[in-house]
Each structure stands twice: as C-alpha cells, then as structure tokens.
Structure 1
Amino acid sequence: MTARAFYGGASGSQPSQPSDRGYLAWTQPPYAVTAGSVIPTAGVLNLRRVRRVPAGSVSSIVAFVAVAGVTLTAGQCFAALFTASGTRVAQTADQASAWASTGLKVMPLAGGPYPIAAGDYYVGVWFNGATGPSLIRSGSVSSVVTNAGLTAPSLEAATADTGLTTTAPASFAAQTPGVFEFWFALA
C-alpha cells in the first residue's frame, strides 16, 4: 500500500482536501482520527489550531460528538473561532442541546458569515455541566507529542482561560499545552 493510498487518495490521486467535502479547512483529515475524548474540565477553553486556512468566508464550526455530554448547563456550552494571535472572531450559539446527542455537529457562528484572511486560526470549545461531550480526535494523548517543537502561543492543542460560562474571551489568555487533538472543520 502506498502512503498516498493509506491517507485517503487512490493511487496517483491526491488525498482528500477540505474543499472536497465542502469545508474551508480542518484540523486534520477525518480519516486521521481514531477515538473520542471528553472535553476534560468544565469552564476551560480548549483550543485546537487550524493551519493554513485560505482567505474566504466562514459561517460554521463543525465537530463530531462521539459520546453525548451529560447534564450540560443550558446557555454555557459554546464553540468559538479565534485568530492565531488569540483574538475572537465569533462564537456559536449555545450547544448544550446539540452536544447532548452524538453525531456530526454543524455549529453556525452567530451573526456570520465572517470574512477571514488567509492564515492560522484556533477553534475553542468549553462546556459547563456534569460531563462534557466526547469529541473525535487524533491518537495522541501526550502534550509533548501533540506540541513537539512548538511553544506558546503557537501550540497545536492547548487550554486557556478558566471560569467561562456564556461568552468567549475577547482574546484568549496564555496557552497551556493540551493533549487532545480534537477534529474541527470550518465551513
């Protein structure tokens, strides 16, 4: 088996690209995810870098809930989009109801679509409630591996800000290395 065939492309073809599936960009190809992990701590912003996003218009963040959240607090479960420098672009409406079931979740950005410049961005998620939803991710569960060769503020996966409830910070705080390479797409 060739590397190209393994990564989703037929022999002689290119691997699947975000635009092949109607997305602007994604954190990693969907065939590179292996498991789900619970968003670990209530009220903490969990960040995942989306690299090389082309200029365009973004209206939604997409995620896949593998295991539903438990007793999520209405009005306190959100996703948000940030620039690479940490400035909030937009956030979704509350996701407590959506994250209480499994499946692909298309989460519209409130007031969108938003024009964005080419570059890197971060998707941030947080929940409040008994147990957060389990989102699909790649196989790494080590912040050393996930962020190998990187330092804040340019980590692949990180946490920042605590005590979040209804609103994403205007700019997220200093990053702490995270372990979960959650899968997100921008649409």
Structure 2
Amino acid sequence: MSISRFLHEFRPLFRMLDEPLRGAPTLYSFPHRSFLADPFLPSPTTVHPALDLTEEGDNYVVEAELPGVKKENIDISVGDGGRSVTIQGRTSSRPSRSGDISGSTTESSTTQGEGAGTGAVVSSSETPSNQLTTERLYSGTSSFTRTVWLPRSVDSSKITAKLTDGVLTLRAPKMEDKESIKINVD
C-alpha cells in the first residue's frame, strides 16, 4: 500500500483539523459553519427560502422563492386545522445520470442523387460509474422547510399551488367563520 493512498483516506480528518486554524475555504461559494457554532442549529446545507404572505380579498397568497427546485421535489402540507402551511423541498446541483446510462438511439437519413436514402442508427451506451471518493466539501444537495402561520383558518381542499420561474405561489381561500355574528350598532 502506497503512502499517498494511506494519506488520501485521512484527507477529511486533516481538513477538519485545519479548518479552525485558517477558516473554511471561501472559494466554494457556500455558507460555512464556524468551528464554535451551535451543533443543534441547522446545517449550512439547509436553505431558508424567502417567503411572502399577503391577503387578497378572501384569499391568503403565499409566495416562496425556490430557484432551481423542481415541482417533484416540493411537498406542501396544511396543518393545525388550516392555520399553518408547511413547504418542504430538496435540491441537487448534480445532474442525475440515470437518463444517460439507458442509451439513446438517433436516426439520420441522407439523400443522394435520385433519392436513394440510407438510414444509420447510432446507439451509445455508457457504463455506470461508481464514485469511490469525493474531493468536494459541498455535495450539492440541500433541503428546506418553511412553515407559515396564518391569521385565520383556510379551506385546505381549495388550495392551489403553482411553480413558475422559481417562485411557488399558493392561493388559500379563507374558511368561513360560522361562529362569528355581525352586530349592527344603533
């Protein structure tokens, strides 16, 4: 066993021991955790998306900025009798290679002279790769959870959600308050 392979296995340990002395590298453009940070606070890979809550007539409108998040990776739930809306999601900056491995076929035809055509089928297949180790400090995946507390209950069966250009828009109609009675003043 070569010494370089042996030291390669200890690279994360060396990086961890060196970080408090010189700080985390800033060239990776991601938030980093201080050496003395509270370990019970969310990790730097936890995203806290910007969120706006507005009231439009009989609806509450929640707008959350979720750039790079696909609609398949978003979960929305209503709880506490319609008083809270929770938005959960996850992102990954690494492209999935499942579509590349399956192999694709393309057809091309060329015509020559009197219209005689030839068709060529080209298929490409890649062997799946196994990642043995990683050199990056940041894996490219993150998750988020945001809960919005609403002033009044909403009708959860009529909530609509739409993701457009990285902005999630929820429209939640207010629940009719059957217990309150309007009293006229004489």
TM range (shorter): under 0.3
Greater share of helix residues, 1 or 2? 2
Q: Which has the higher contact order (CA 8 A, sep 6+)?
A: 1
Question: Which of the pair has more CA radius of gyration?
Answer: 2
Q: Give the TM-score taking structure 1 as reference length.
A: 0.24
